[in-house]
Amino acid sequence: MNNPFAPPIDLSHLPNYRQADARPRRAVFLGRVSTKDRQLPASSIPRQVVLAAERLDPGEEFMAHFWDVESGMLPVHLRGLGPQEMYDGLGVPTPRDGSLQDLVDRAEQMGVTHVLAERSDRVARAMLTSLTVEHELERLGAEVIYANEPTGGTESGRLRTRRYGQAEAEIYRATMIEMSMGGQYQHATNGWNHGYPPYPYVAVVDKDAPVRGQGRFGEMRPKKKLAPHPDERRFDAARELCRLRREENLKGPDIVAILKAEPDRYPIEGEWTYNRVEGLVSNPKLTGYQVYNRRANRTGRAGFSRRNPISQWVWSPKVVHKPVVSLEEWMQAQEVTAGLRAGVEGGPLLRVRAAASRLGLTVTAVSSSAMHTLYRIGNRQIVLPAPVPEALVQQVIEDLGSVE
């Protein structure tokens, strides 16, 4: 801004009339596109470069270009983590010298004096993130300039325009999250599946779902519901491992050992593991209800998702696919799991299995009903009620010595 209170005579020839900047001007471009599928980085990034370049000095060019194909809702340290092969395959004519995080890390070393972007939401949609980036770059001696801001005028006016733009970006971010989550909630309550189908199911196209037309970037993905896996043994295996937790109070490693002992009866790709067992036991989709929002994926830690409390889960209002267990049985299994994690000792059947193991015998559940379970121990079969009374447990253990 020109000083309106100039001296009464021309003093511009004096050596200290203007403050000299010892550093040469070195400007870099900063840009962002949300996704490579829903937007076109090959056209969006060059367009942003053209707009940002309007704030360059005459004859000046960008010394480097930093841009990402990432959601503006991500924190800075999670930006630009995509492999270089992905960026190379986008066909963007603008060179890429790194991500936003790379710019912050290298700005001082490169001697960057100005960072030019189309507008503030190209830095981030969260106001705190964009403010933090601006503050860090300015601390390193680089001024952040947005092409959509007016030139001239007062500093307060420029700042007001910038903050309004940043607040608008964050409000847009919150609105988009609300609309997206609302759509996901409806997706679940209509019975359509999110993510990979659980072990005893496959995802099949719902022929009764509304047909969506051709989208901007090709055919829209069809709605899918869960259906039993063609291999019926998977359903039986899932039902059995839930029963082992619910009725026998077995821990994950014990259930894994039982399932591994009979691979023909309990088939699985690879092998049974603790995480697979615990994941199935805790999966509410086994009840026939469709459930969404069990995990929060955007936690600020790469590759880490946080479990949401059950109160935040979104359930379909009715059963929408064939259940493995009833909702009541699933709830009982969760209660047992909570007890095991709290250090509560296992149930009476765990003692039976331990006694049988000492004798080299295997306890196998043959069939079960709501009230009883038929077990095979050695060459004998025995029917036990659920739950098993303590007196009956002791009798079974004593009788194991006569089992061959």
Per DSSP, the three-state class of 163 is: helix
pLDDT tops 60 at residue 346: no
Q: What CATH number was assigned to the domain covering residues 190-205+223-344?
A: 3.90.1750.20
Mean pLDDT within 14-38: 79
d(CA 382, CA 376): 6
d(CA 46, CA 31): 9
pLDDT tops 70 at residue 347: no
Same fold, 27-175 and 190-205+223-344: no
The CA-to-CA distance between both ends of the chain, in Å, stands at: 98
The pLDDT of residue 201 is: 95
Per DSSP, the three-state class of 96 is: coil
The structure's pTM equals 0.58
Residues sharing a CB contact under 8 Å with residue 234, sequence separation 6 or more, in sequence order: 199, 200, 228, 267, 268
Mean pLDDT within 81-103: 88
d(CA 297, CA 318): 26
pLDDT tops 90 at residue 369: no
pLDDT in tens, 96-107: 999 999 999 999
Q: Give the burial class of 212: count Cβ atoms within 10 A of its Cβ; 0-12 exposed, 13-18 middle, 19 or more buried.
A: exposed
Indicate the pLDDT class of residue 19, thresholds 50, 70 and 90: low
pLDDT in tens, 167-192: 887 887 778 778 878 888 888 888 88
Q: Tell which residue, 264, 233, 250, has the closest CA to residue 357.
A: 250
Instruction: Match 């290298």 to its residue by tokens.
Output: 106
Token couple for 232: 């019926």
d(CA 117, CA 78): 20
- Whether 94 and 45 have beta carbons less than 8 Å apart is answered as yes
Ranges 54-68, 216-230, 234-248: which has the least confidence = 216-230
pLDDT in tens, 119-155: 888 888 888 888 899 999 999 999 999 998 888 777 7
The pLDDT of residue 351 is: 72
Domain formed by 27-175, architecture: 3-Layer(aba) Sandwich (3.40)
Mean pLDDT within 201-208: 88
Q: Which residue has the higher pLDDT, 104 or 365?
A: 104
d(CA 396, CA 250): 18
The pLDDT of residue 152 is: 76
pLDDT tops 70 at residue 402: no
Q: Give the burial class of 88: count Cβ atoms within 10 A of its Cβ; 0-12 exposed, 13-18 middle, 19 or more buried.
A: exposed
The mean pLDDT value of the chain amounts to 83
Residue spans of the domains in the chain: they are: 27-175, 190-205+223-344, 347-404
Mean pLDDT within 205-220: 64
Q: Tell which residue, 270, 269, 275, has the closest CA to residue 241.
A: 275
Helix axes 232-248, 252-261, angle to 10 degrees: 140
pLDDT tops 90 at residue 70: no
Name residue 264's beta-bridge partners.
none
Q: Which residue has the higher pLDDT, 158 or 191?
A: 191
How many other C-beta atoms are found inside a 10 Å radius of the C-beta of residue 281? 22
Upstream peptide bond of 387 is cis (omega within 30 degrees of 0): yes
pLDDT tops 70 at residue 343: no
* Percentage with pLDDT > 90 across the chain: 37
